[in-house]
Every structure is written in structure tokens, then in C-alpha cells.
Amino acid sequence: MPEGHTVHRIARQLTQDLVGRRLAVSSPQGRFAAGAARIDGQVLVAADAVGKQLFCTFESGDVLRVHLGLYGAWDFYGSLTPLVQGGYSAGSMGAPRLRRAVRMGEGERDVPVGEVFPPEPVGQVRVRLASDATVADLRGPSACEVLDPAGAAAAIERLGPDPASTDDLAAAGDVMVHRLTSRNVAVGQLLMDQTVVAGIGNIYRAELLFRARLDPHTPGRRVPTDVARVLWDDWAVLLADGIERGFILTREDLAEAQREEAVADSTLRHWVYHRAGEPCLVSGTPVVVEDMATRKLYWCPTCQV
């Protein structure tokens, strides 16, 4: 499932290459024909991410809300502006040029593209946003709808705070800390609850808990306030880094050369995630995997006590 950093990167790509343009909006698959017709021919005025949800606002005030879910992704074609200026990140878009294509979902990768622009839709494309130079195709989302301004505001209000979507990190952190420490639910489950804090998925959950040396089974009410604040502050740092890099890197012990290796080798990026049965990199204890909140949870029973 795409986590918060990916959705923020998608919002940035849309902002750079489609915001301010009058767009042709269609539903090649046909399942979103009515919604597409409602916003077709309008100028896209903003693209914002809150947690794992994307909100694209059009000149009428109507908002396209998208949640990628487990399998959703955006394919971008055409003239694409690099997301990182003067630097490198995994999935970097490269110099703007026609017939460039990249998929942004759980990861980022180049996708095949032909010589004709705009390309014919491939597969089950729910929505196509198209300018004369850039096309964005959405496929496989768990939610895709057009809301009026009040409906969009209500959808955002239901979400927990997102460090990358607030101008007041301290106040947003207060909200997250209160919601987490006021419930008698395992903290490993609360971090995946998008009404508590927005954007955290399976990788970030496992890594945040390990970095805080916190047992994932600890009820929220038993998590000290200062520890909950550490979780929020660490989440803000890791999210910002993921947005810039295009992938999740949580091991602060890596030397610079190893960090460069981690660009290509995902096995170097994490302390416990996807390392079930392997020795913990700190204690040597085999990393445990179990189901929590319908997803696989990885943790070290020695370090996280």
C-alpha cells in the first residue's frame, strides 16, 4: 500500500505539471464517467495530499478525492518536471521531456511508452487528467469521487494530523499525542488508524516503533506523553525525508556509501520491516512477524520492551 510520502510526491508532480492548466478529464474504464464529466474542461487549481489521500481542487470548487488503497497508482506521461532539483532520488523524474513515463504508487519506476502522445490508455484507467503536454492516469484506487467544497472539508476533518500538511507542527503533534494516549488500543494498531495520525502505513509503523524502542502491544493509554511526542517528531522527520528521496529509509546508522547502496538495495533501508526471522541489527534477536490491524507487523522482542 502506498504510504504518505508517495501521495505527497504525487501531489507535487500534479502541482508542477498540471495545476494551472485547463484539463481534459475522462474515464477510459467508464466506471467514473459521471465524475469525470463534472470536472472535465476545468482548470486544476490545487493538488494536496493529506495522509494517504489526494485532493485535487478545480476552478468550480469541486474536488477530486483519491485514495490509492492497496493497489492504486498514477502513471504520468509527457513533459515531467523533476521532483528534486539538482539532486538525486529514487524514481527521480529526470529532465522534463516528451514521451517520459513513470508510475507512482507503492514505489516509483519508469513504464514503457510509445512514440504517440498522448498514449492510448493501457488497462483499467479509472481517470485520465490531460493537458496538451502531460497526462496523468489513475488506476486501481480504493476511492475516487468528486466532492463539493463542504464534502472535501469534511473528508479532511475526519483524518488525523499530517506533518507535511500543517503549518503548525507543535499544535498538530498535540492532537496526535492526545488521540494516541487517550485510547486503550495497542499503539501498533493506533499508528495505522488514519483518524489518529494520517499517512503512516506498514513500513513506517514498524520502523517508528522500533526507533522508539516501543512494544507495539502497549495500550495507547500506557504510552508516556513524551514517548508519543517522540513518535510524532520522528514521523515528521521520516516523512519529509521520504518525500524528498522517493523511498523510505529509516536506518540512521548507515554510512554515506551504504546510503547510496540503499537507493538500489531495499534490504539495507530498514531496521525490522520485512526482516522476519533475521537477527535484529541491534540485539541479534530474531525479528518477529505477526498480524496486527490486518497487516504484517515486524518487531524485535528484545529491543522493544
Any idea what DSSP says for residue 167?
S
- How far apart, in whole angstroms, are the C-alpha atoms of residue 186 and residue 78? 45
- How far apart, in whole angstroms, are the C-alpha atoms of residue 135 and residue 283? 49
Which one-letter amino acid corresponds to residue 271? W
Q: Please tell me which residue in 31, 103, 251, 295 is annotated as part of the active site.
A: 295
**Inter-CA distances, 3 with 51, 167, 200, 295, Å:** 8, 21, 6, 13
Name the nearest CA neighbour of 14 among 44, 52, 40, 37. Answer: 44
Is 2 assigned a catalytic role? yes
Q: Please tell me which residue in 9, 52, 128, 179 is annotated as part of the active site.
A: 52
Is 295 assigned a catalytic role? yes
CB 205 within 8 A of CB 192: yes
Is 121 assigned a catalytic role? no
- How far apart, in whole angstroms, are the C-alpha atoms of residue 25 and residue 300? 48
Is 224 assigned a catalytic role? no
Q: Please tell me which residue in 3, 65, 229, 245 is annotated as part of the active site.
A: 3
Report residue 73 as a C-alpha cell. 497508482
Catalytic (active-site) positions: 2-3, 52, 295
